[in-house]
C-alpha cells in the first residue's frame, strides 16, 4: 500500500475520533415523531464519515442561546447530492492535511421559525456580546441576518469550516461563560479548533463577509482555501457568510422541508 494512502487513512481516523467527541449528545435524544424525509436525504456520516460534526443548534452555543426547535439529535442531514459533493471536498482537504467541520446542514422550517421569534423578542439579548455586538437587534431582519425562509430547509445548504489535522482538542462550551466578540482575535474568542477564518461562526458582522478586504494573512488564505475547494466541487458561497455554501444543482430548489433532525426521520441512516 502506498505511504500516501496510509497517511490519509491515519488522518481520517483522527478526524473520526474527534467527530465522536463533538457529536455525542449530552442526553438521550428526544424521539418525538413528525414528518419524515424524502428518500433523497441521507445522514452525512454515511457518505463522508470523516467530516467532523459540531451541530451548533443542537446545543446552547449559538446566537439563540438554546437548543433550536427541530434539532432532536446532533446530526448532519443533507440531500445525497450535497453529501457526495462534500465527500469530494473532504478528499481534497485530507490530502492537504485538513478536514471539513460542519456546524449546520439541513434546517427544518420550525427552526427557522424559532429564529424569527427570537429576533422579534428585542428583550432577549443574552448572546449579543458574542454574536452581534455592533448590530441593534431590531435591525437583524433589515440587514439580512435573519429571514423567514432559509436555503438550509431545502437540504443542500450547509455551514462549515476547515480544521487542521490532527484536530486539536476543543473544550465544551459552558453556558453562561463570559462572551467575547465573534470578530476578536482567534486566540481571544471561544476556542474553536478550526483554522483562523477572521471571525467565529454565525458572526453577524461585515467582517464575516467572505471577501471583506480587511481580512488578510492566514485568515484570507484559509477562506480562499475553503471557497476554492467548495466551488470546484460544485458549490456556491453566500457572500455575506464565509461559512455558508449551497450545492449549485440542488434537487429541491423550491421546496422547504420541516421534518425534524433525527435518525428516525430518515428512511435509511
List CB contacts of 237: < 8 A, sequence separation 6 or more: 210, 227, 230, 231, 244, 245
Q: For 51-67, b where at least 16 C-beta lie within 10 A, e where not — what string?
A: bbbbbbbbbbbbbbbeb
Other beta carbons less than 10 A from residue 95's beta carbon: 12
Out of 54, 73, 241, 250, which one is annotated catalytic?
241
Q: How far is CA 72 from CA 29, 149, 175, in A?
A: 6, 20, 19
Q: Is residue 40 annotated as a catalytic residue, yes or no?
A: no
Q: Quick count: other Cβ atoms within 10 Å of Cβ 11?
A: 20
Please identify every residue annotated as catalytic. Answer: 241
Amino acid at each position: 500500500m502506498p505511504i500516501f494512502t496510509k497517511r490519509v487513512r491515519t488522518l481520517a481516523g483522527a478526524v473520526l475520533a474527534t467527530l465522536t467527541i463533538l457529536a455525542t449528545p449530552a442526553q438521550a435524544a428526544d424521539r418525538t415523531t413528525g414528518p419524515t424525509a424524502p428518500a433523497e436525504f441521507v445522514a452525512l456520516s454515511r457518505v463522508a464519515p470523516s467530516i467532523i460534526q459540531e451541530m451548533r443548534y443542537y446545543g446552547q452555543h449559538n446566537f439563540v442561546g438554546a437548543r433550536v426547535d427541530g434539532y432532536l439529535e446532533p446530526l448532519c442531514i443533507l440531500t445525497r447530492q450535497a453529501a457526495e459533493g462534500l465527500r469530494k471536498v473532504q478528499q481534497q482537504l485530507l490530502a492537504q492535511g485538513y478536514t471539513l467541520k460542519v456546524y449546520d446542514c439541513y434546517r427544518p422550517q420550525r427552526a427557522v421559525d424559532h429564529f424569527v421569534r427570537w429576533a422579534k423578542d428585542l428583550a432577549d439579548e443574552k448572546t449579543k456580546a458574542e454574536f452581534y455586538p455592533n448590530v441593534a437587534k431590531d435591525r437583524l431582519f433589515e440587514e439580512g441576518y435573519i429571514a423567514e425562509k432559509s436555503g438550509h430547509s431545502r437540504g443542500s445548504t450547509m455551514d462549515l469550516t476547515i480544521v487542521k489535522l490532527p484536530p486539536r482538542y476543543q473544550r465544551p462550551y459552558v453556558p453562561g461563560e463570559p462572551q467575547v466578540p465573534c470578530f476578536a482575535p482567534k486566540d481571544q474568542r471561544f476556542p474553536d479548533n478550526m483554522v483562523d477564518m477572521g471571525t467565529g461562526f454565525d458572526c453577524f458582522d461585515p467582517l464575516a463577509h467572505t471577501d471583506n478586504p480587511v481580512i488578510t494573512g492566514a485568515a484570507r488564505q484559509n477562506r480562499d482555501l475553503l471557497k476554492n475547494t467548495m466551488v470546484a466541487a460544485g458549490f456556491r458561497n453566500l457572500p455575506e457568510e464565509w461559512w455558508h455554501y449551497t450545492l449549485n444543482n440542488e434537487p429541491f430548489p423550491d421546496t422547504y422541508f420541516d421534518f425534524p433532525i433525527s435518525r428516525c426521520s430518515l428512511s435509511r441512516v
